[in-house]
């Protein structure tokens, strides 16, 4: 099965919510429908990896007066990267050099409920079976 990048992005945008973020209660107020990517990078990168394969990347985010944090996204063969949540960062924020993260076989250690909920929503929008794991991988056309 193949999907366009636009279709993939739209599926995530329809699926993100306050209940799929990796934010704690104190910073959850930064998530709004006007800023839907805020706090979504971890679950989003995991679901993208489920659908498309590739590497899971992590990097430090610094700069400005905000707290330092980390950011997740995906890289594929040939060095192509997909980062559906980069827009959550203001222009003064600096995303450092990425490291490849080896995903635990048992699934995410943190925010597993949020990941599973996002996966269920995205696969429903894309009309896929949410119970298939790493069976795809789909292709971006």
* Contact (Cβ atoms closer than 8 angstroms) between residue 141 and residue 3: yes
Number of domains, the chain:
1
Distance, in Å, from the CA atom of 122 to the CA atom of 108, rounded to the nearest integer, reads: 17
pLDDT at residue 72 in the model: 96
What's the domain range around 125? 2-140
pLDDT at 118: 95
pLDDT digit string (tens) for the chain, length 141 residues: 778 899 999 999 999 999 999 877 666 777 888 889 999 999 999 999 999 999 999 999 998 777 778 999 999 989 999 999 999 998 999 999 999 999 888 878 888 899 999 999 999 999 887 666 545 567 777
User: What is the pLDDT at residue 32?
Assistant: 84
CB 140 within 8 Å of CB 11: no
Q: What is the pLDDT of residue 26?
A: 61
């Amino acid at each position: 099965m193949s999907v366009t990048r636009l279709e993939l992005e739209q599926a995530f945008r329809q699926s993100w919510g306050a209940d799929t973020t990796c934010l704690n209660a104190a910073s959850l107020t930064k998530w709004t429908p006007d800023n839907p990517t805020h706090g979504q990078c971890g679950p989003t990168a995991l679901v993208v990896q489920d659908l498309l394969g590739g590497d899971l990347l992590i990097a430090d985010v610094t700069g400005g007066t905000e707290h330092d944090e980390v950011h997740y996204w995906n890289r594929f063969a040939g060095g192509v990267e997909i980062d559906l949540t980069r827009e959550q960062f203001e222009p003064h924020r600096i995303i450092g050099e990425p490291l490849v993260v080896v995903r635990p076989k048992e699934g995410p250690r943190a925010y597993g409920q949020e990941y599973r909920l996002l996966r269920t929503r995205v696969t429903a929008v894309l009309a896929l079976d949410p119970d298939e794991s790493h069976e795809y991988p789909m292709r971006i056309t």
